[in-house]
Structure 1
Amino acid sequence: MAKLGLNLGFLLFQIFNFAVLCILLYAWAYKPILKMLDNRKQKIAQGLEDARIASEARANAEQDAAKILAEAQTKANQVVRESTDRAETAALEIRAAAEAEATKEREAALAEVQDERDRMLGDLRSQIAALAIAAAQKLVGESLDEKRQHTLIDEFFSGVRAGKVEVLEGTTISGASAEVTSALPLSSGEMTSVKNDILSKVGSQATVSFRVDPSILGGLVIRVGGKVLDASVAGQLESMRQSIS
């Protein structure tokens, strides 16, 4: 070693010092640095994991929020639709009720007018009878059987002779309902005779209604089962007009 110019003792001392320095650096510097780097690495990894979890949580929160908003919108639309339907239904019910009430009032007013007209026509019937009897007496120049004259006038307007409806004699009719039209209101006795005569032909389960139409002038028009029996004065005049034209 001396030939090489090296001092063995000094070299060993330097090697010892270097070894001690390495040990000290490893113990006091390298290990803490490695530990610090490892901790830093773990913190970075943890931060990345936390960021990933936060990102997923935010994405899930956004999805949940979108779902909640969609459900809320659907429910709101349903509430609006149901409210609209209820409002429309209520409006239709109110309108139907108003129309029904208006129809009821109109029908009641019409029935009242009809009753008043029939009452006036009923009063007119007795006046017509009195005028007809007076005219006949003046024409023949002597008193006539007033009872017989009343009977003839009643038969003229009611179409009933001896308790029988003349237009029904010798006819066959059928149906569930019948409508009887006269020029002037019939008396209760005349209505009973007409109704009984009709029911004897069509059956007791049928319904019979009466109406007044001054335009037929006299006699009766009976509609039953799609069949029309016209024994009115207006009908007879029309038949005569057609026969001579």
Structure 2
Amino acid sequence: MAKLVSKTYAKALFELAVEGQMVDQILAEYEFVKDSFDEFPEFLEIVKSPKIAVEDKKNILVETFGEKVSETLINFFKILVDKKRSDVIREVYDDLSVLVDEEKGLVVARVESVIPLEANEIEALEAKLSNVTGKTVTIDNVINPDIMGGLVVKVGDQVLDGSVKHKLDNLKHELAEIII
């Protein structure tokens, strides 16, 4: 549910940024805010806390970021606070980044492997995935010993599971059907 909420707000902010021709500016400003929350997590907890009054939260945000980010972004944060959705403030940034990358034709593919991929393997896989998707793909190589071998590639909503674990699970399922 929270993911759907954050995507909805991210899309609304993205459309507003496109309309105002300030996509890169909004993303950079939001990154600044996100980095501030990362550096001071207790500050994010104040903004998310149901114990703090809505007006106090909005005032804190304006006082903290009012001179550092655009009025558009401040107003967006005020809306999140008014709608009691400040709990997704970090997730909205992540979803907004994906939308901006998609607009620019950039995609990050999550590739799970048992051991880190070599630079030449990453390059070859990026080229192959870029060719298939028609977009510029960069690889986020994640180490996952549970897959036992092979690769699991996630590009957007698509998953290509070439892991040994997946193949063994399929074989186990097929054998179970034969025995019955």
Q: What range describes the TM-score normalised by the shorter chain of this pair?
A: 0.3 to 0.5
Q: Which protein shows a greater Rg?
A: 1
Q: Larger RCO: Structure 1 or Structure 2 (Cα < 8 Å, ≥ 6 residues apart)?
A: 2
TM-score, normalization by structure 1: 0.29
Of Structure 1 and Structure 2, the greater helix share is in 1
TM-score, normalization by structure 2: 0.39
